[in-house]
Homo-oligomer: A and B are copies of this chain.
Amino acid sequence: MEHQPRNPSFAAEIKQSFAKQKIMALIGAELTRVEPGVVEITLPYRAELCQQHGYLHAGIVTTIADSACGYAAYSLMPEDSEVLSVEFKVNLLRPAKGELFVAVAEVIKSGKTLTVVRADVYGLDQSGRREVIATMLGTMICLS
């Protein structure tokens, strides 16, 4: 899908905004890709992010997927906008195992008020082999 940004400085603004999301520093997530309509966030495994079986907690999977979706939506919004999550649904497809987790979000439909975004979250093992562990389908709103 071709995505046309309306805000020429979207990438710089997303990086600034991401730096203000203190939760990203707490869990150790990094913004690893910012393109029109597509944003990727990467999170190395840490035991303290896990649930009782040692897998990444579904809420942390959601945390990186939601931020990736929000910024993917934001990348197509006009200048001086703000983005908020309206709702999302997450299907947990496999136990969240991996050395590294990557959430890749892409805009499905960009509207004036609402943007619908999908994200897949992958777990990568030491050899770099990746498997989808979760998928999100969400709605973001543009406030301006």
Copies in the complex: 4
Assess whether A58 is interfacial by the CB under 8 Å rule.
yes
Number of interface residues of A (CB under 8 A): 49
Of B52, B63, B91, B116, which one neighbours A59 at CB under 8 angstroms? B63
The listed residue with most B CB atoms (<10 A of its CB), out of A84, A85, A135, A141, is A85
| B-side contacts of A95, CB under 8 Å | 84
B88 touches A116 (CB 8 A): no
A63 touches B57 (CB 8 A): yes
Q: How far is the CA of A49 from the CA of B21 in the complex (A)?
A: 8
Q: How far is the CA of A23 from the CA of B46 in the complex (A)?
A: 10
Shortest Cβ distance from residue A127 to the other chain B in the assembled complex, whole angstroms: 21
